[in-house]
Chains A and B, each alone.
Chain A
Amino acid sequence: MSNGPLIVQSDKTLLLDIDHASSDECRKAIAPFAELEKSPEHIHTYRLTALGLWNARAAGHDAEGVIDTLLKYSRYSVPHSLLIDIAETMGRYGRLRLESDPVHGLVLITTDSAVLTEVARAKKVAPMLGMRIDNETFAVHPSQRGHLKQALLKLGWPAEDFAGYVDGQSHEIELRQEGWSLRDYQRLAAEGFWHGGSGVVVLPCGAGKTIVGAAAMAHAKATTLILVTNTVAARQWRDELIARTTLTEEEIGEYSGAKKEIRPVTIATYQVMTTRKKGLYAHLDLFDAHDWGLIIYDEVHLLPAPIFRFTADIQSRRRLGLTATLVREDGMEGEVFSLIGPKRFDVPWKEIESQGYIAPADCVEVRVTLTDHERLSYATAEQDERYRVCSTTMTKKNVAKALAVHHKNDRVLVIGQYIDQIDEIAADLGAPVIKGDTPIKERERLYGEFRSGAIKLLVVSKVANFSIDLPEASIAIQISGTFGSRQEEAQRLGRVLRPKSDGRGARFYSLVARDTLDQDYAQNRQRFLAEQGYAYRIIDADDVFTGKI
């Protein structure tokens, strides 16, 4: 029996003992086919899923290699049935292929006509197939390429897409590496994406996803459509692209509520893409406005459902998804995989932190106690009001103030969910507020002053959750969260993870009302970060007032 670092469980999870001498080697060996589920401090959990194994097949790994790796690193002997299962699952990939045929156009081809017959009989698939050309081939209308892939995946017979991509209209884009250079993992991410064709790159907040996007554009050298969450993010993308690439201001267009520019590189917001006029999506034409060679989806975990539907129709264009987490609160991970593409690159947060690319963070949960009066009103509140009652307790305001005073020399973000609450706190602290109705110009001014250090304390609502680059923020105080949203907690922590010029660590305070719904939701939110290795420490509100932080 070997004394390897890996424990293969019968439920297809892999436990990697990271304190083991060969854990690093093992992690690299299993990464191509196992999905990292969580990476807390001692044992990382990976999972063997059908999707993961198919991804590995797509990347050229075969079942034998996978099995050998498991046997090599496994601490205990591996059940035979599990190995057979792996071989069978992997054998399913590639039996069906989407190809482009010089005569018939897009076709679905198989090496196993029984499989083709089986899927052709399925109710969901049958209407998407055209004429049966021969025993092994079906014609497919190009418009069905995405939908067919989705349906086949659900049947458990994923089709390998060899139909290729249109090159798009070529446009010269180069990275301008002056005074900076692409980090290793950024280069690997961009290359991983480019060789895979389409897919998703998963990197922590602050790890430079925009630069991975720019590097991908430099690979494609074609007109590019970038979809981002909001206008501020769009402008940050534009600034970053101008700074890092050979693109000039004239080549980049913004397509948002405010401006409707279509240029060789166009940055559009999700909101404008999903705006409807008289029941019709008014701006869909944008997808056809240019012969795009690359489409980039920023924050893919937030991609709204209609965008998925449009994406199904543009399967012949290269697609790059960028995100900090594939966790979707709506459970649509499968759609991301089949329509944008498989995960092409992934690296644990802690690893990037240990390389010094993101600031180390100290997560603190501050427990506050409701006053007796508040307890009573919490107990008698209606179900849908209870969370609001407990998460906006007065005590939190006092704690937030105390923390702001304690960190008066740092740049502090106070983040909240409820507008009334953040307005009150801002008034108390005498700090400016950014929220949904703050004009874009005003927002940019405030962010600018915060970056320059003219203001040190900023109170923000959830509009600041995503893609706002505030590198010098080192303290975040979350006074209320969006129920149990795990990805939001990760995003908020991400605000303070950008490396600081003086190498300081970041601190993330989460204020939680004891013995209430707030505490339950907080625990759910923290789960993702805890699984990424960010352990929370818990202190009492009294410790804050007495300065024991």
Chain B
Amino acid sequence: MPTKRATKKLTEGTPRVPASAASLADELRSRSDQQIADLFALRPDLTSPVPNDFSSLSARASSTPSLIRALDSLNLFQLQIAEAISALDESLTRERLVTATDPLALEALEKLWARALVYFDREVIRMPRALRELIGAKPAGLGPVSLVPIDTKRIDSLLKSAPKMSAEFMKRMTWGPAKGAIGDRRKTGGAIDWLLENELMVKIDNEHVAIPREIGIHLRGGKIHRELAVNPPQITGDLVKFEENNQAAIASVSNLLRWVSELMDFWSEETPTLLRTGGLGLRDLRKAAEHLGVDENCAAFIAELCYLQGLLAIEGDGRVLPATGFDLFQSATSEQQWRDLVSIWLESTRVIGLIRIEESKGIAPLGNELDRVWAPRVRRTILELIKGQADIAPSLESLQQRLDWTLPSRKDAPLAKEFPRWVMAEAQWLGIIGRGAISSFGHAFLHAERDLGINAALPPAVDHILIQGDNTAIAPGPLTIELARKLSTFADIESRGNATVYRFTEGSIRRGLDHGHTGDEIKNFLKSTSKTPVPQPLEYLISDVARRHGQLRVGYANTYIRCEDEATITSILKDRRLENLRLRQIAPTVLISESESGDSLETIRNSGYLPSMESQSGDVISLPKQLRAQSKARLPRAISETSEPTLAVIQAAVKVLRTGDRAHSFTASRAEIPRTTANETLAILRKSIESESTITIGYADTNGGVTQRIVDPVSIAMGNVIARDHGNDEVISFKIARITGVAFIDE
């Protein structure tokens, strides 16, 4: 038999609702297949894993984590109606709900029902207990449920005769907050006492009072909310011309695709290395930004986009290099590239705005700290909102207000204010929006249309350049990728955009020659690609550099063998015994080899020659060196004795021992910690709250060790159970997820 708990019930209770899982299960069972399918569509988390039967579906649907998700998907009006249902008493009918709120509440009620957030027991609207708990004990700022029936006539007459101060207090608390601090009671001169005596207010504890819920609703004129957000706030902003907006968007699209390939090309030449703490360093980000000609925020965005799309890979040593995915990406059409980038951006949990330097969140691009689970949902919601406003550039303020209505759960969440701004800026870089309004490309994308119209809107690639007398070449439009690649090997880019300005310098031509082009090849390439004749000074420049290129040769060798006598050199070169040295003649009197100098010396000596070793300055070294290690000596680490424990540690250990001992005495018959499934755990917890009984739980600590506790559960909220722990006689909250099992205690 469960024991009755000795501790008192808290004053701020939730309304008494019988355990309801069974009846929700029945109600769900009676729904049509389509309605169940709708439920799964609205609450996708219920399908993973697929529940076995209706009772486990009902248990899952009324579990706190799933309910939190479901509540997050409600708009403000639906949330208010849920609040109202939670605030009103048990036997709530549709009529009563409409009187307390608004006729449109019935529509919202349908939506709540479809999500299985409410269910009907004949005419009565019911709400799972866990949901009431989630909404909290103070729905719409109302006080606790009255323990005695309310006589409205008595209240009205009482209020008429109330002392001025008391009436003022009642008035001030009518629309919330639920709980008022009394402060210094002497100052209020008995006004509060009068209210308490007449039961217009109740005491919550020694310092706080509240208006009982029924009285509160009566004072609110039978309504729950002062303002019901029936209609969403309008999104407003400047009118935008379709054509101009689309022009701006296509400019962004072409910039974006160019930035992506330029950044990858840049990093393949100047490869950055991630910081030891993860993420790209500010210096590398600045360099990239400078190269692209954009600010750091935009550069970080491009880098992240490449990362998300798999265009770059982070090597084991932290180097960031373009991946093979980049080559595949480049072979796709512009439209396909854009579609890929936008899709991945839309779905990503990475919040790139967090990198923003001026807002100093201190988070590095390509690092591990950007993920936020809510990001894709909110991002998509924002885009859906602006999608409906094709001809206006929404003001951030009105967008924010609308978002607060559509996703009320996000209103006070972290980054609630920043995120929409970031999304808008990113959507602009992407070209989803043009001059502030959604572009036709963004619109087509969100509608999952097959043809976005990007290939047609982008300027066609040009296949020629114009070379001018000042040693510059201009590509008067986007160059084909082959031309652009080849040209940039021997020309420096001076200006970027739809067109590109290249400059030929001695350095750039030399680079081209280093790449393996010959001077004539470069000249012929320029002649065939340039619409204008190649100016003579440029031809001279190329010939000049080509003539001098490669006159000096630099190579690598481990050993050289020199001898003033050319005959000896020739005989060594021809000597078969020395073949393994792979000697190469670089001058009549000099041979080189890749073998270590010591080995070569030995081999040559063993073949009957009489070589001697030369030092760096050319002196003959007569004595072989004594070998020394090349690396720095590292001393082994000394491991010390364990340090003595402090008094506090000892005391804590004793206490833990005693508690464990006591827990053990409750369950003397059983050495093991109870193990129950999650559903069982929740059920037993609920039951024990209801029956006010003491239970024992197994509780995992952060290291995975499980301890046994004896507790009196008080309430369940947000995945936690609040309970009094017998171990230290404190009320603490336990994470339900960490409870390995529960059991009633038999004494």
Binding site for B on A (CB under 8 A): 1, 7-11, 13, 15, 17, 38, 40-43, 45, 71, 75-81, 83, 365, 367, 514-515, 519-520, 526-527, 530-531, 533-538
Contacts and interface: CB of A to CB of B under 8 A. Distances in A.
5 contacts: A7-B498, A8-B497, A10-B497, A15-B499, A76-B459
Nearest to B250: A77
A530 B469 contact: yes
Given A80-B251, A533-B469, A7 B476 contact: yes
Interface of B: 244, 247-248, 250-252, 254-255, 293-294, 428, 434-435, 457, 459, 466, 468-472, 474, 476-477, 495-499, 501, 506, 532, 535-537, 540, 544, 548
Contacts of B247: 1, 71, 77-78
A365 B250 CA distance: 46
B474 A535 contact: no
A535 B535 contact: yes
A9 B472 CA distance: 16
A361 B719 CA distance: 87
A7 B548 contact: no
B470 A78 contact: no
Given A7-B476, A77-B254, A535-B535, 4 more contacts: A76-B498, A79-B255, A83-B248, A535-B469
Contact of A536 (B496, B498, B501, B537): B537
A538 B474 contact: no
Nearest to A9: B497
A7 B544 contact: no
A76 B459 CA distance: 7
Given A1-B459, A9-B498, A77-B250, A41 B469 contact: yes
A78 B248 contact: yes
A9 B496 CA distance: 6
Contacts of A527: 470
Contact of A15 (B469, B474, B532): B474
B470 A530 contact: yes
A536 B471 CA distance: 11
B232 to A, nearest CB: 28
Given A42-B532, A78-B251, A80-B248, A10 B474 contact: no
Contacts of A15: 474, 476, 495, 499, 501
Given A7-B498, A13-B501, A42-B474, A79 B469 contact: no
The 3 closest A-B pairs by CB, nearest first: A9-B497, A535-B469, A530-B470
A202 to B, nearest CB: 19
Contact of A7 (B435, B457, B499, B536): B499
Nearest to B472: A40
A393 to B, nearest CB: 17
A333 to B, nearest CB: 19
Given A7-B497, A79-B252, A80-B251, A535 B537 contact: yes
B458 to A, nearest CB: 9
B251 A77 contact: yes
B344 to A, nearest CB: 23
Contacts of B537: 365, 526, 530, 535-538
Given A40-B468, A80-B428, A531-B470, A11 B548 contact: no
A507 B471 CA distance: 21
Residue in B248, B470, B476 with the greatest tally of chain A CB atoms within 10 Å: B470
A77 B248 contact: yes
A11 B293 contact: yes
Contacts of B466: 42-43
A81 B428 CA distance: 9
A75 B476 CA distance: 9
A41 B473 CA distance: 11
Interface of A is mostly: mixed
Nearest to B497: A9
Contact of A45 (B477, B496, B501): B501
Contacts of A76: 251, 254, 459, 477, 497-499
Contacts of A515: 544, 548
A9 B499 contact: yes
A40 B470 contact: yes
Contacts of A71: 244, 247
B312 to A, nearest CB: 22
Nearest to A79: B251
Nearest to A10: B497
B536 A530 contact: no
Contacts of B477: 7, 75-76
Given A7-B497, A78-B247, A537-B536, A43 B468 contact: yes
A13 B495 contact: yes
Contacts of A11: 293, 495-497
B476 A10 contact: no
Contacts of B293: 10-11
B29 to A, nearest CB: 56
B506 to A, nearest CB: 8
B737 to A, nearest CB: 46
Contacts of B476: 7, 15, 17, 43, 75
Contacts of A17: 476
A534 B293 CA distance: 31
Contacts of B434: 80
Contacts of B251: 76-80
Nearest to A534: B469
A457 B341 CA distance: 70
A289 to B, nearest CB: 46
Contacts of B469: 40-41, 530, 533-536
Contacts of A42: 466, 468, 474, 532
B468 A75 contact: no
B435 A80 contact: yes
B502 to A, nearest CB: 12
A10 B255 contact: yes
A81 B294 CA distance: 10
Nearest to A44: B468
B505 to A, nearest CB: 9
B472 to A, nearest CB: 7
Residue in A13, A515, A533 with the greatest tally of chain B CB atoms within 10 Å: A13
A1 B477 CA distance: 13
A421 to B, nearest CB: 25
Contacts of B501: 9, 13, 15, 45
Residue in B247, B248, B474, B497 with the greatest tally of chain A CB atoms within 10 Å: B497
Contacts of B252: 79-80
A531 B468 CA distance: 9
A498 B380 CA distance: 69
Contacts of A536: 469, 536-537
B532 A530 contact: no
Nearest to A47: B495
A420 to B, nearest CB: 29
Nearest to B469: A535
Contacts of A514: 544
A10 B497 CA distance: 5
Contacts of B474: 15, 42-43
A522 to B, nearest CB: 10
Contact of B496 (A10, A81, A519, A530): A10
Residue in A7, A41, A77, A534 with the greatest tally of chain B CB atoms within 10 Å: A77
Contacts of A519: 544
Contacts of B495: 9, 11, 13, 15, 45
A510 B496 CA distance: 34
Nearest to B531: A42
A538 B469 CA distance: 12
B194 to A, nearest CB: 53
A530 B538 CA distance: 12
A535 B534 CA distance: 12
A297 to B, nearest CB: 29
Contact of B540 (A9, A38, A538): A538
A525 to B, nearest CB: 12
Contact of A79 (B244, B248, B470): B248
Nearest to A20: B476
A536 B470 CA distance: 9
A199 B535 CA distance: 37
